Amino acid sequence: MTTAHPFGGRRLPVAVLGATGTVGQLFIRLLADHPWFRVTTVAASERSAGRPFAEAATWHEGTIPADVAPLVVKRCDPAEVTERVVFSALDSAAALAVEPEFARAGAVVLSNPNCSTINIVMAIAPLHRAFGLRKLFAVTMQAISGAGYPGVASLDILGNVIPFIGDEEPKVETEPQKLLGDFDGERVRMAPFVTSAQTNRVAVRHGHTACLSMAFERHPHEDEALAVLRDWPGGIAHLGLPTAPPTPLVVHEAENRPQPIKDVDRDAGMSVHVGRVRPDPLFDLRLVCMGHNVMRGAAGASVLNAELMAVRGLLAGA
């Protein structure tokens, strides 16, 4: 099922901020053939501004879409970028300064939450809804693409594990409570669980894996948990959004899955994979989850959010 075209067949003009970086390039690829959106402006740092995109960007995969290649790169300034829908691929520091300016200027800014958090939240959301999560241990093994480009030096990670990722653990310890919280129209009431996170970098290209142990208010049996995970439709499956995967949560039965190499590219990287659901000697349950950090965990999630806003009429004035 595919939903009706929210803009009556016309592709809505959108801008990409931070367009020359890896996430920016991914936005451009994801939107190249998008039925609803069309990239009409690319913006980046001063260094790139004023040059044709094809010249300013070191394009990483395949070839630059023909209609984006000749665009002249603009500065990340609402005075220059007039689209009302803006995908941001800026890093935290730049985002903090620039995104509020666009919001104040009336733009809808679609930005990425933490890529580890998204995948974990996808896996625990149905369990939390059903059983009331109270305690969460999460140990992650994160892909190098999560650090951008050039990112992690090969001498640091080839044949190695780095048991630390700067600023990552605080995010994984606070964002899930927010994403699974309640919005009362004014503010978010945090979901009432506590998270302990340990984050590691491993020699994987794409795909963040997490080992989770969870204590719930209503102590579910392993089979109940499996049933909930398998039957979870996601909240938006009925909408037929172009970027939505057929099964947002793929539950694996093989004892050695999910694995980045074997599972990360399924459904264009938009599914989250769960496996090894089993009882925990200390808490109620444990499981392994894995998702594509740059697709489901970043650019793909933003595009999906924009699609959801579109069918809900929230981009109408845009």
For the annotated catalytic residues, the residue numbers are: 115, 208
**Angle at alpha carbon of residue 96, lines to 312 and 176, rounded to 5°:** 60
Residue 52 DSSP code: B
Tokens standing for residue 300: 């793909």
Tokens standing for residue 131: 């059983």
Nearer to a copy of itself, 7 or 283 (CB): 283
Tokens standing for residue 292: 């594509």
CA-CA distance, 267 to 184, in Å (whole number)?
33
- Give the list of residues 6+ apart from residue 231 with CB closer than 8 angstroms, or none: none
- Concatenated DSSP letters of 99-145: HHHHHHTT-EEE----HHHHHHHHHHHHHHHHH-EEEEEEEEEE-GG
CB under 8 A: which stretch of 31-39, 94-102, 203-211, 232-240 binds a copy of itself? Answer: 203-211
- Asked if 205 touches a copy of itself (CB under 8 A), the answer is yes
Among positions 159, 185, 313, 317, the unique one binding a copy of itself when judged by CB under 8 A: 159
Site for a copy of itself in 257-276 (CB under 8 A): 257-262, 266, 275-276
Least Å distance, CB 189 to a copy of itself, is 19
Q: Of 244, 227, 243, which is closest to residue 235 (Cα–Cα)? A: 244
End-to-end Cα spacing for the chain? 26
- Asked if 220 touches a copy of itself (CB under 8 A), the answer is no
C-alpha distances out from residue 222 to 48, 135, 176, 247, Å:
53, 17, 22, 21
- Asked if 7 touches a copy of itself (CB under 8 A), the answer is no
Least Å distance, CB 182 to a copy of itself, is 22
CB under 8 A: which stretch of 31-39, 44-52, 149-157, 222-230 binds a copy of itself? Answer: 149-157
Assess contact for 10 and 32: CB atoms under 8 A. Answer: no
Q: Of 107, 142, 170, 137, which is closest to residue 294 (Cα–Cα)? A: 142
3-state secondary structure of 201: strand
Nearer to a copy of itself, 163 or 185 (CB): 163
Assess contact for 214 and 121: CB atoms under 8 A. Answer: no
Among positions 40, 65, 200, 234, the unique one binding a copy of itself when judged by CB under 8 A: 200
Least Å distance, CB 44 to a copy of itself, is 19
Least Å distance, CB 307 to a copy of itself, is 26
Nearer to a copy of itself, 41 or 145 (CB): 145
Matching residue, tokens 């190695």: 160
Nearer to a copy of itself, 106 or 149 (CB): 149
Which residues is 199 bridged to in the sheet?
A: 140
- Give the list of residues 6+ apart from residue 282 with CB closer than 8 angstroms, or none: 213
Binding characters for a copy of itself, 51-70, by CB under 8 A (x = yes) = ---------xxx--------
Least Å distance, CB 148 to a copy of itself, is 9
Site for a copy of itself in 72-91 (CB under 8 A): none
Among positions 211, 237, 239, 309, the unique one binding a copy of itself when judged by CB under 8 A: 211
Nearer to a copy of itself, 41 or 117 (CB): 117
In the complex, which residues of this chain contact a copy of itself (CB under 8 A)?
60-62, 135, 137, 139, 141, 144-145, 149-164, 173, 194-196, 198, 200, 202-205, 207, 209, 211, 213, 255-262, 266, 275-276, 280-283, 286, 288, 290
